[in-house]
């Protein structure tokens, strides 16, 4: 079913969002319904599919498009997050592929980061170009959603994720520098997705699948895209299962106040 707007029957207090990363292009079977939305920032990466996971209705959007047509620096992040909120989503998990800056976290590890470092440039990372709006971002991830994921067996809790511009991978010197700063993961899409969610007062937590050790962490040829995608594919079934299990741990009703930064503030635009 295709629609041009956000149909009222989709809006629900239990509607969760999942924005999938590289290799994560689908989430439901053929029974899911597809919804096409437009936004003031253009169309999102792909139509949003809506299905059910346990007691939750879930909206899924492939971050890079259904055929991976968007590189990390060209993803329409503002349109993606706006479309999710317009649909009624208020809580989002962001599965993503990451490189490891910690030799103890090898390929296949699943990590829920607790901090973010932005090393991107030129990305449109706000909805508020006027009005003097400044959101609190000291703790960028929703504690409630993080708790739902970190309580699962085998999940690594915590670590700073540095987000680089891409689409190239890091040099050995860069990855050694990142590791020396105490950063644990490196990724290309974790920003501005996280801060845009905060501006739209949506809870957000990343769930990261380690696909490789970054170039400066081990000797060898360095990171290759073909190896990253192959590792993601090898771990796709358990990674999707982990996201399903995290969703099952989320309360039906949202109670988080950490991700509501606009209390007492008059916004220059109306949120969808």
Taking the C-alpha atoms of residue 63 and residue 67, their distance in angstroms, rounded to an integer, is 10
Active-site hit among 102, 118, 214, 251: 214
Query: Do 175 and 103 form a contact (C-beta atoms < 8 A)?
Result: no
- Residue 129 CA to residue 144 CA, distance in Å, equals 29
Q: What is the pLDDT of residues 216-249, one digit of tens each?
A: 666 555 556 666 667 667 777 888 899 999 999 9
**55 tagged catalytic:** no
pLDDT digits (tens, 9 = 90+) for 52-80: 998 899 999 999 998 889 999 999 999 99
Marked catalytic residue, from 125, 212, 227, 251: 212
Structural domains in the chain? 16-249 (3.40.50.1580)
Share of the chain above pLDDT 90, in %: 71
Asked if residue 212 belongs to a known ligand binding site, the reply is yes
188: annotated binding-site residue? yes
212 is catalytic: yes
Using alpha carbons, list the distances in angstroms from residue 3 to 33, 35, 154, 225. Answer: 10, 5, 40, 35
- 214 among annotated binding-site residues: yes
């Amino acid at each position: 079913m295709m629609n041009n707007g956000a149909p009222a029957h989709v809006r629900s207090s239990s509607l969760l969002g999942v924005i999938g990363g590289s290799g994560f292009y689908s989430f439901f079977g053929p029974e899911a319904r597809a919804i096409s939305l437009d936004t003031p920032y253009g169309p999102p990466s792909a139509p949003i599919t809506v299905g059910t996971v346990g007691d939750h209705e879930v909206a899924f959007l492939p971050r890079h498009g259904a055929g991976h047509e968007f590189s990390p620096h060209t993803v329409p992040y503002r349109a993606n997050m706006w479309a999710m909120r317009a649909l009624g989503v208020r809580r989002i998990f962001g599965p993503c592929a990451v490189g490891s800056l910690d030799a103890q976290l090898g390929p296949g590890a699943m990590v829920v980061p607790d901090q973010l470092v932005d090393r991107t440039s030129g990305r449109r990372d706000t909805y508020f170009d006027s009005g003097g709006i400044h959101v609190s971002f000291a703790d960028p991830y929703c504690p409630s959603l993080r708790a739902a994921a970190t309580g699962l067996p085998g999940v690594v809790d915590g670590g700073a994720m540095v987000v680089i511009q891409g689409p190239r991978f890091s040099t050995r010197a860069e990855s050694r520098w990142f590791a020396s700063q105490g950063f644990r993961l490196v990724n290309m899409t974790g920003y501005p997705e996280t801060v845009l969610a905060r501006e739209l007062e949506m809870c957000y937590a990343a769930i990261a699948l380690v696909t490789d050790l970054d170039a400066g962490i081990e000797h060898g040829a360095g990171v290759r895209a073909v190896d990253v995608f192959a590792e993601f594919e090898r771990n796709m079934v358990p990674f999707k299962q982990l996201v399903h299990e995290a969703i099952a741990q989320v309360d039906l009703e949202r109670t988080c106040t950490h991700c509501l930064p606009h209390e007492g503030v008059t916004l220059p635009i109306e949120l969808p």
